[in-house]
Structures are given as C-alpha cells and as structure tokens.
Structure 1
Amino acid sequence: YCIYNSIRFLKKDGFLSAITSNAWLGKEYGFQFKKFMLDNFHIKYIIRSNAEHWFSDSKVSTIFSVLQHGQSTESTKFVTINFKLAETFNQDNILIQLKEVEDFYTDIDNCNNPKHSGWKNDTTFHNLYHKTDNSISVSIVSKEQLENSLVEQKNWDTFFISADLLEKFDQQLIQLYPNIFTAFRGERTGWNEMFVVSSKEVLTSGIENIFLIPYVKSPTELKALGFGGNYKNYLFVCSLPLGKLKTNYPGAYKWIQRFENKKNKNGSKTIQETCKGHKPFWYSLRPKQANIVTAINPFERFFFSFSEKPFTIDQRLIAITVKSKSDVELIAALLNSIVTFLTVEMRGTSRNLGALDLNANYIKTLLVLNPALLTVNSIKEIKKSFQPLKTRKIKPIFEEVKQPDRINFDKTVLKAFGINESILTSLYQLLSTAVRNRVTMKER
C-alpha cells in the first residue's frame, strides 16, 4: 500500500526503501505489484539475507528493496548478504554507520568492474558476482529480463542466482499442463471422521470395497516414489440412495447410519447439516483422483510419488492426473529428475520456517523436460534407471544426491535429452546449497 501511494509524494529520481515480505517475488498476486514497480520505478536493489532474520519474532521472510522514482533502462541488482548487519555495521556511531552503508552500496555497484579485485565472476552464471570473501553475492538482471519474466510468470526469487538459471535446458523444457496432465489440490471432505476410513476400520466396519477409494492423508505416508496397495486410509465414496444400500450393501448403510445424527465438537451442527451441499446425498463425495502426488510445502525431501492405480488425496497435498494416452511412469520419472527439483526449489516461494510454499497453479505452470523429445530407446533407458528409485526410501536431498542410483538416473535423463552430464555435479551443489539456506534460515 505504501509503495503504491509513494509516487504521490516522491520527486522524480527520488528514492524509496522498503522492507517487505518476500512472497510477492513468486506469488501470483505479485504480478501486478511487479508491473507497477517496473512502470513507475527503477528497481535498483532487492536484498535478502542468508545470515539472519531481520525480524526475529516474525514468521515472514523479508527482503529489502531500493526504488528510484521514474523510468530507467538500467539493470536491477539482486543482492544476497551472508553476514549479520549488527556485526558488520557500526552500532554506536550513526555517522560511521552511514559511511559504512554508503561504502556497501558503492561496493555492490562495482561488483562487475574487472578492475575491482574484491569481486569474482561466478564460474557457471555470467551475470553473478561474489565477493572474494563470499560475504556478498550480486546477480545483475536487465530491465528487459524483468519485463519478460512477467509474461513467463517467473519467480523473481531465482534472480538472486541468475536471470538465466535454467537457460541450459530451455530447448528441452515444456509445460505439461493441460495437454499431458491436470493438477489440483486435495479437497476437504467436510467430516473426516466419517469419510476418511483407516485401514483398520475397513476390516471391522464391513464397508463394501466398491465404496472405498485409496486415500493419501499426509506427505509422511509417502516413503518411496512408487507406491500402491499399502494405504493407511481410504475415502468413503457413495452415491447410492439409502434404500438400495439397506437392501444390497448393509456395510455402507450401517456406516452412514452411525454418523447421520452425530454432532460436531461444539454440538452446533450434525454431519447432515454440515454436508448438506454434497450431491446427490449428504453422505456423497465426488473426489478427483490422481496418479502422482507431491507435498504442498516440501522441506528437505523432494518427490513426485506415483501409482498406476488412481487414488485420492488430502488438502495438504497436490495431485497430478496423467491423461489416458500418456505414460504415467515416464511422466513421474521426469518429474523426479534433478532438473525438475531444481526448478521447484528455485521458483517456489520460501516460508520463514523453511518450507517451500507451492500450490496447484504452480504445478500447472511448471516446466518439465519434454517427453516428446525422447526416442523409444531413451524412454526404456530412463525407465530402467528409474526402477531402483521407485522402491527405496526417499531421502533428504543432501543424502539423495549422493546415492549411486540417483546419480545414474539423473545422468541417464540428461544424456537422453542431449545435455552434457558433466553439469550434474554443479546442479547437485546448486540445489543442495539452496535447500540448506532455506531450511536452516529459521535457526539464524
């Protein structure tokens, strides 16, 4: 609100500095905000800290932006600082502190000056610069790249590393939604006690199998990339009238009777009243079913677990349904490649407590290695190398990238798409560093 209204008070070329949440860098609602800033300001600096939270009692991750009123074609510097402010800037003398801050910005402005011995160019990304003592990193992003990012719906959080972070894969990436798969978030049942039936209750309740659909309730249930057959819960789904149930399906009928007059915890409503919007009956659900699932707030584990047999999910998960003519296992394999994991980490929005914040719309816009580019033999090789990963336990990414089967799988995928396998070590390092910075931030 303050930034929107600031142009009424700022003179041309006047400056505005603001600390805000980092959410607008990647969230959908940030589009209009970014456009407003690009139309009205030169965004000189966007600064984040990898060393500390600037507000220790806040659960919001923050960034510091410096804006200059008026149009400009100059680039924006995305700055990452790896030091604590109080340990670097003088806390006793304001005049000394102001001089130190001025020197800080001068130093940043000269990061790409080849005569400045205090800086070095990154070995992978040409517009990324590091202080030789690794205290500061600066990624320089052009105005054109920022404007193009609005069309491409890029998360500006990736710009702290590079505006061209995934340019090495541009020719191989494609959006699989909506032609290959659909994506959605799990839905609320309205009354889990009735609709979510544990595997133990299935054995004792007498509910007929035709009314039970496999149900994934929590990301913790997903131990491996391949799953199916050992579900902890099932969803009760019934669209038959009570009369028919009473005659032909006594198990389901008794289950409904058990709950029809039950009230919620505060005693204000019965389940029938709470679920009166369900169709065709209050005890009916019409859940979407999926083949692939991932966590809505991934932490250290990255996964797109899958099953050939469709299942349903809780609202804490994001589901993908692969269309009938597409290969579920191949799509799952490509989603579980290092390229996808890196894309998810770099384009997702980080929460203060360390988890990424994803949603179904994010998955819809996710760029994935294009399966149409693969030969029949390449598909066979990818699936073959994917087999060991399907059955073993999913590990935190720091351990995952050290596993021989993971390394072999990612090398196979890169080779299949004509990407030099020698880049794999750098990709692993980049992902591991980004995840470590995210998950340990809450401790700083």
Structure 2
Amino acid sequence: MGTIVRRNERSWAIEIITQINLMLQGLGLKIKCAGGESTISVNKKSMFPDVLLFEDEAQNRRLQGWELKMPDVLITDEALIKDAARKAKALGLNSFVIWNFTYGKLYIKGTDDTFYEAKAWTGTGNIKTRPDVTTYKNEWVPVIRDIIMTVNEYLVNGEISTAPITEALTDNLLTEIVQRNKGLVAENLRTEVSNSMIMERKMKVWWNAFQQEYEKDETNMYSAYAKTILINWANRIMFANLIKKYHNCADLIKYIDNSTSPEEGNEIIDQIISQGDFYNVFHKIDYNDLIPEDTWVDIIDYNQFLYNSKVENIDQSVLQDLLEGTVNTAKREIRGQFSTPFWLADLLCQITVENWNGHCADLCSGTGTIAKAIINNKMNRLKSAEDTFATTWISDKHAYPLQISNIALTSIESLNIPINMFQSDIFDVEAGKEVIIKNPADGLDLVRQIPAFSAVISNFPFVKYNNIASDEYEHIKKCADAIKVNTGISFKLGKTDLYMFLPFKIYELLEENGRLGIILSNSWLGTDVGKDFYNALLYYYDIQSVVLSNCGRWFENADVVATLLVMQKKKISLPDKSKKINFCLTQKELKNLDSEQLESLISCIVLKEELDSSLIKMKSYTVGEIISVLAKGISLNALFHNIDWMQDINEKLIPISDNFTMVRGERKGWNDMFYINGACNIETDHLVPMLKTPRNIKNFIAEPDRKAFCCKNSIDELKSLGHEGALKWIEKFSGLCNEKGKPLTESIHHTQKEAWYQMSDDSKADFVTAINPDKRLFVAKLAQQALIDQRLTALAMKDNTEQKDLLFALLNSLYGMFAIEAIGFGRGLGVLDASKDRFARINMINPKMISEEDKKTIIELFHHVVKRGVMDVERELKDEAREKFDREVLRAIGKEHLYEDIKNSILSMQKTRQAVNNKYKQNEVNR
C-alpha cells in the first residue's frame, strides 16, 4: 500500500520520545517511560496521540497523551484542541499536552467533562520555522523536561489520573474505530455495489436477514454492513493480540502494518487460522477488504497499538474481562435488539436442562450468550472443561454472530480445548451428520458427529413471516407439510413467523424425552396462528412451563414482549388432556435478583410450586381445561391469571355471534374520494354517516365523524336525476392516478356489479370498539347507524332491536370487559393486540338468562355509568355506580359471588400488560 509519510514530524516525534526516556532515567518519577512510535499517523489524523506517557515499563498503564505540531502550526487552533481531547477520551485519559516546539499547553478534564487549560509554556522565541527545531534543539529540550516534571506533580497530587489499557480496549477504541469510519466504508460499499450485481444481491440477502437487528440504530444497509466489517476487523485484531502469548501463531498479527493492504491483512490472519484455528473468530466476512485507505490506516494503528502495548502480558483474569468487554461492546455497537441478556439465558438454561452430562446445544447462537450460560452451568456441575466443551454444541446460520460467540466462549484456561462450533442453517442440522472443527492446539481438522441432544436452548430469531428469506421457504414448506400429516393442522405459509417452525425441526434432533427451552415473542399467546402453533406443539411435546414477565420487557431495545417456553419431547400423538401446563408470571426484574432469589425462582418453575409469591405467581391448567377456555374465545395469554371461575359461569355464556354480525370496515383504496371530512356539494342521497378515527370513540356513545360517498347510481342515472354535485365529484377523481401511476378508474377495488366510483352502504354498524384498546375497555353504541373504517371493530344487530339497550349493557358489563382484555396479548408498548376475528369469537352473557324485571334494573343502572363517561379500567372498577351495575348483572344470572374473581382477573391482566408500558415510559424519562 502506498503512503504519504510526514517524515519530518514523525522523526521529531520519535526524537521527543527518545529525549523523554533519557530524562526519566534514575529520577524515580510516577512517569516511567514514553512511547507511541508505532501509531504515529502517516497520512491522516491518527486515532492515537503522537506521544504516550506510561506509569509502567510494560506500557499497560497510560498516563497522558501528547499532540505534537511543528512551529508553523498554532496550538490555539480549536480543531487541534478538539482532536486532542477526542484522543484522550478514547484512551480514557483525563489530560493531554499540545506542543509545537515554541509553546506547550497542558489541558485537564474538569467536572463538566470538558478540558480546560491548566498550564502553558513558552520557549525562547528563537524557534519560528521547521529548520529552527534542529538549530535550537538545546533550547526546547529543557522545556520538555519542565513539562515532564510539572505533569508528574499533577500525577502525584491526583489531578491527573492513570488509565489502565483495559478500559480503552473494551469500549472506547472499538467505538472510536466504528464512529470514525462507518460513513467512509458505507460510501465505499455503495460505490462498489454499482459495479457488481453479485455483491448487490449478497448485500440485500444479508440485510433481509439482519435488518431487524439494526432497526434501532441503522436504517441504511450500507452503514449497517460497514459497521459489521469494522467490528469484524477489530475483533480479529484484538483476539489475536490477546492470545499470542498462548498461541505463537497469533504473533503473526504484528505483520499487519503500514506495509500491508487489507487483502494482505486477511492473508496474514488466514495463516493464523491454518496454524491454530479459532476459525470462527478469524474468518473474514464478505467484502471486508473493500475499505478506503484512511480506514485501513486506523485498523493498522489499532493493531500496532495493541501489539506494542503487550496486552498478552496482562493478568489472566483481566484478559478474561477484556474478552467479555470486547463481546459486550460489539453487541452494543450492533444494537442487537434481540440479543439475549445473560441473566435471561442463565435462567432459561437452568429451567430447561435436566441432565447436564448430556449434549446441550444452541443452534441459533447469535452472539453466544445462551451457549456461554450452558458452559458456565456445566462447569459448575461437571468441573471438567474438556467434558463441558465436548458436550456443548453451537451453530448459527451466519458467520458474524459466530465470531462474537467464539470470543464469548473463549477462556484463557481453555484456549487449547476444541469448541463444537459450526456454521449452518438450523434446518440443515441433522443428528449423525459430520462437521469439521479445528484443534486450536495445532490447527488440525477434527471430525465430530452431531449427536442427538438431551437439551436445546435457543433464543429463536424474531423474523416476521413477511421477512422470511427465500432460501428458508423450502425448509418451512417441508416442515409445514410434516406438521399437517402428523397433526392435521395447516400452518399458513406467508402468515406464520419463522420461529413457529423451529420447534418441529428441533424435535428431530432431540433424544427421547429431550428438552427444548426457547425464547419467543408473546404473539403466539393471542393470535390465531399462535393457537395453531400451540395445538401442533401438543402433538410433539409435553409443555412444561410458559414464563412471562410481570414487571417490564426483558429486551429493552425491542418493542417485543418475550416469553420462555420449556417443553419435553414425546412420541408424536394426540394431546394428553390430563397433562398440566404451568403458566408463570415473574414478579421482579430478573436482572436485579440476587443469587438466593434466583435459586428460589428456578426451584419454583422446575418444581411447579409457588414457593415464593413475591418472586413468581403461577397458575396450572390441564390441556383439557385449556381447550374449554379457548372455546370461549379466551386467549392463552389469559392463562397466566386466575380464570378458574370461568367453569362456574360457562353455562351463562353464549357466542357474541348469536346476537351480532361482525361488520367489516370499508376499504376502497382511495380515502380522499370516499371519506369526506367537512362541507361538500354532493347531494345528500349519496352521503352516509361514517366513523373513521378510533380516537374519536371517547365515550359510550360514538358520533360519526364524517360522511362517506356511497353512490349506487350509474352516470346516466345521475345525469337524469340532475345530481351535478355527485357527477362533479366523480369527474374530479376520474383523471387521477395512484402512487404507482395507475389510473384510479382501474386501481380502485370494485366488483363486476359496481362501477369504480361506487361504494356500498349495506354494512352499517350499531356498536363499535377499538382494535387495539389500551387502558379503557368498552364497546360504544353509535348514535346512528354508520359505516365504519377498517381500523375499528364493529357489530351490527341481527334481530331483537328491542334488546339493543340490554345488549349494550351486557357488552360493557364486568364479564364483557374481561372478554375484551382476554382475547389478545400485550404489545411492546402496552396496548392490547385484539383483532376483529378474535373479537368475533368471544362469548357474552346470555340475555335470555335475565328476567324482564332484572333487564329494566340493569339498563337503568348502566344508564348512570354511560352518563358519567368511560374511565381507565382501574378507576372504572373502583367506581360505585359501576360496581352496582356489575353486581346486578351477575346477580341476575345467579353469579354475583364471582364479582371479585372477575374483577381481579381484569386488573391482573391489565397490570401485566401495562407493566411493559410503564417500564418503557420510565426508560424514556431516564434517558
């Protein structure tokens, strides 16, 4: 690689380092030596100061950095000061010196995290040009000595502090590399893609797989991949420098210097792989050599800084901290929103694995947190590193996660022990299949046969059905076909998330009675697809426990609520209705539990006993009981709460469909034409009341908020009627096109029996409610029949219009509120996910069970509730008028004794759902 060497400045920096080291001999100062020669920039602003002062000869404890300029550069330049401050912060230092052979300045960080000028030095005034530096060397050398002595005084009195190298290496420098170079690399990738169709396709396939991992941080494919390239280089360089004391081949990393190119850097690392393995750490990712020269200089500087800092000589325990710190920083930089917290991984392992001597695996390893938890737990029990690693298996579809996993699993004590780690799509993993791993001691191939696993523990990828990669489609189709044959249940391809297929693939990999512990989105607890998933699982597994948080999300970066699911393999057969499933609600933040509380929590889940209700609340239901509950339109999500009382009220319930028809909202595809908000000249014959906006449903009586254009006449009929307003309205849109340039006359959805401008007004609603309610659970009555928008759930009376007021009351009774809350699941921001289809299957109190006299009383009491308006559920259920009404409804059907149970179920479900939202809001405040 060609470089532009600023030989004059570089040589003077080396001269100053030499002079300082000569001065320090025999003085016994806190400053022991100076260094920095290896990272003096040759063609750009360096990541590192020109001179570094150290507290130890090994150069592991940095004291201060100096920025050197020639006399023709003013040291008052703001950009220079800012850059020097940046370097100090990157190295964890609280001071720096700027020197240009004429003037010197010492800056120290203040309490406000900014640097202030603490001391200044002036030379004799003879040095004004670059040649003067040589001529008047005897004049500036004493000033350097004075600076050294002054800095030492500040060190002694504590105003300048020492920074161990570990602090910078585990966080600051990797972040600095990424932030300095992400944009440069991204732009370079964008340029290169324009020259290569293959590269463009590969990048897009990668982005499709990983986009969700970056969506909290990077929305641009090139920036995201640039970050991955930079971390790939930084991790490889860091790891090689850390292990070179234990693996001589890693010492080859020193040859990545100013004389090499990125391609040659990859070749050097390939030599390390061939001699000592760690393939998953050192393996290059695609296009990592497509980086600009300035970025490569930073990577070289980083490597030389590490190499000359002799990090391999740091104490073993500190080296282990460095490895873990590297993993944590890489995870944070990628912002993997679904990266498993260690405390969650550890809990999942301990409630899943029954036999720690058996083979355990994570086949969707991501960044290796679960695999690390498996190894830690095995080590605590088996006490043998060899046995631990021999019975632990790790794989992932992608190379980058395996790099992080390999670093995460590496310990200094076990550097020479082979790790059963391989790259594979989980659908391609087969028991008995051979995989090749490397022996880290000598780099030789080891052939290992994948065993049947006693336990698989994984955080399944949260890939929505519309993001499933094309190469996965055949896998999931084959899986869906097998499920259909074995269970009769059809999984709808294109509607089923990827994770739902994985337990059925893993079933093939488990030994008899093997166990599966997984982390899933909670959506399966409340959706129709989730119900199919649950029913199919019962043919393959005995479900042991389902665990949900009652105090906030486990994945704070993701708007997803997660569940833990623990199952045991059985012979594929009809579900055993007598088997019990444990539903567990954790009552405290898992990450804050001490060891004693964690042990107690694990015991509760494993033994299926609520030993400590302050840690966990548990409900157990038989498969038969769950079938009965689901038949009433209740979701699996409700089973975490006490709904035993439902057996007592079942005979008083009927499907809501006995009295109502679900009304589908209109959707024509061009709202501006069909939804009219405000005045218009269209004849009233063609205008129908409409409710469009959910936020306008504020009370028990809902008013339409606009008119809908519903014209049933042909153009000729409109002309004969003289309806110029309608004709002009149609004409206004007849020449327009949609966003894709297609004429509205062709793009607006219509049937053969209607013209493009026609919309039916047949589906008018009597009652309406929000699809995703939050803290208020109610059904509103429309002040007049109206069309409704598709974002609303609406009901039309079937018959018995004289019963309208009673049905209105029953829909909003205590059981009606429970039915709404119990049909869905909580989303990541706390709202209820409750679809129209699920609402259509709920049960309501049978109005035929109520006497004529009780009907009048119920309607009158409900009138008082309507009059005072809708309140949040918690306030609603404390209201005296509400309680009188609810008790009267239950008394009328002989079930008043269930009042407290139903009320507590609603409050419990609301608390769990809203706990996520409250945690989210608190995090926003804390930020």
* Structure 2 residue 693 is matched with structure 1 residue 196: no
Alignment partner for residue 235 of structure 1, among 699, 708, 733?
Answer: 708
Aligned-pair distance for 1:314? 0.7
Distance 1:224 1:313 in 2: 16
* Corresponding residue to 2:906 among 405, 420, 431: 431
Q: Indicate yes or no: 2:839 matched with 1:358.
A: no
Q: How many residues align?
A: 410
Q: Secondary structure of 1:353's match? A: coil
In the other structure, the counterpart of 1:34 is: 534
Structure-1 separation of matches of 2:628 and 2:855? 33
Distance 2:871 2:882 in 1: 10
* Distance verdict in 2 for CA 1:304–1:223, change over 3 Å: same
* 1:161-203 per-position Cα deviation (integer Å, ceiling 9, x unaligned): 13525223212111131x31111342323211111111x22xx
Secondary structure of 1:315 counterpart: coil
- TM-score for the superposition, normalised by structure 2: 0.42
Residue 441 (1) aligns with residue 916 (2)? yes
Match of 1:275 among 744, 748, 768: 748
RMSD: 2.4
Provide the TM-score with structure 1 as the length reference. 0.85
Residue 47 (structure 1) aligned to one of 537, 543, 547: 547
The one-letter amino acid paired with 2:745 is Q
Q: Which residue of 1 aligns with 2:843?
A: 367
Equivalent residue for 2:731, pick from 257, 260, 274? 257
* Aligned-residue offset at 1:159: 1.3
* 8 Å Cα contact 2:550/2:915 also seen in 1: no
Code of the aligned partner of 2:621: V
Among residues 130, 142, 158, which one is paired with 2:638 in the alignment? 158
CA gap of 1:153–1:10, structure 2 versus 1, over 3 A, is farther
CA contact (8 A) 1:401 1:407 kept: yes
| 1:127-181: CA deviation from partner (whole Å, max 9, x where unpaired) | xxxx24x22101111233245556556411111113525223212111131x311
In 1, Cα distance between the equivalents of 2:689 and 2:867?
A: 19
Secondary structure, aligned partner of 2:528 = coil
| Structure 1 residue 423, shift from structure 2 partner | 4.4
Take 1:250 and 1:370, find their aligned partners in 2: how far apart are those partners? 50
- Deviations for 1:382-425, whole angstroms, at most 9, x for unmatched residues? 111122333443222122223333222212212221222x5434
Residue 659 of structure 2: aligned partner: 180
Q: 1:382 to 1:149 in 2, by over 3 A?
A: closer
Judge conservation of contact 1:51–1:84 (CA < 8 Å) in 2.
yes
Tell me the residue number matched to 1:122: none
Alpha-carbon distance, 1:308 to partner: 6.2
Worse-matched range after superposition: 301-310 or 2-11:
301-310
Is the alpha carbon distance of 1:245 and 1:51 closer, same or farther for their aligned partners in structure 2, counting shifts above 3 Å?
Answer: same
Whole-angstrom distance in 2 between the partners of 1:183 and 1:42: 36
- What is the aligned partner in structure 2 of residue 125 from structure 1? none
Q: Is the 8 A contact 1:333 1:386 kept in 2?
A: yes
Alignment equivalent of 1:347, drawn from 823, 826, 831: 823
Shift of 1:426: 4.7
Larger Rg belongs to = 2
Matches within 5 A, 1:322-401: 322-326=797-801, 327-401=803-877
Of 789, 792, 809 in structure 2, the residue corresponding to residue 317 of structure 1 is: 792
The question of whether the paired residues in 1 share the 8 Å contact of 2:630 and 2:636 is answered with no
Distance (Å, rounded) in 2 between the aligned partners of 1:162 and 1:11: 35
Task: Verify the 8 A CA contact 2:641 2:908 in the aligned structure 1.
Answer: no
CA distance in 1, matches of 2:749, 2:903: 50
Contact 1:308–1:328 (Cα < 8 Å) also in 2: no
CA deviations on 1:290-330 (whole Å, 9 max, x unpaired) are 10111000111111111363211111101111113342222
TM-fit CA distance, 1:376: 1.2
What displacement does 1:80 show? 0.6
**Deviations, residues 20-68 of structure 1 (Å, cap 9, x unaligned):** 1111122111233222221221211110111232222222221001111
Identity across matched positions, percent: 27
Give yes or no for contact 2:691–2:786 (8 Å, CA) kept in 1: yes
Partner of 1:302: 777
1:143 paired with 2:617, answer no
Aligned AA for 2:734? E
> How far apart, in 2, do the equivalents of 1:392 and 1:325 lie?
27
Aligned to 1:83: 588
Give the one of 600, 604, 612 matched to 1:107. 604
- Distance in 1 (CA, whole Å) between partners of 2:906 and 2:643 is 16
Find the partner of 1:58 among 542, 546, 558.
558
Unpaired segments ≥5 residues, structure 2: 1-500, 920-927
CA distance in 2, matches of 1:213, 1:176: 27
Deviates more, 1:280-289 or 1:425-434: 425-434
Paired amino acid for 1:186: G
What is the deviation of 1:105?
A: 3.0
- What SS does the aligned partner of 1:365 have? coil
Structure 2 partner of 1:291: 766
Instruction: Give, as a single letter, the amino acid of the residue that structure 2 aligns with 1:181.
Output: F
> Contact (CA 8 Å) 1:224, 1:392: kept in 2 or not?
no
Matched, 1:413 2:886: no
Higher helix share: 2
Distance 1:313 1:276, change over 3 A: closer
Point out where structure 1 has 5 or more consecutive residues left out of the alignment.
91-98, 113-117, 120-130
TM superposition shift of 1:337: 0.5
Other structure's SS at 2:822 match: helix
Amino acid at match of 1:285: M
Structure 1 residue matching 2:793: 3-state secondary structure = strand
2:645–2:898 Cα contact (<8 Å) kept: no
Q: What SS does structure 2 have at the residue aligned with 1:347? A: coil
> 1:163 & 1:394 partners in 2: Cα distance?
25
Q: Name the CA shift for 1:223/1:102 in 2 (closer, same or farther; >3 Å).
A: closer
- Secondary structure of the 2:560 match is coil
State the one-letter code of the partner of 1:10: L
CA drift of 1:225 comes to 1.1
User: For the residues of structure 1 that align with 2:864 and 2:858, how far apart are their CA atoms?
Assistant: 11
2:878 is aligned with what amino acid? K
CA contact 1:47–1:80 (8 Å) conserved in 2: yes
The 1-side partners of 2:597 and 2:541 are apart by 25
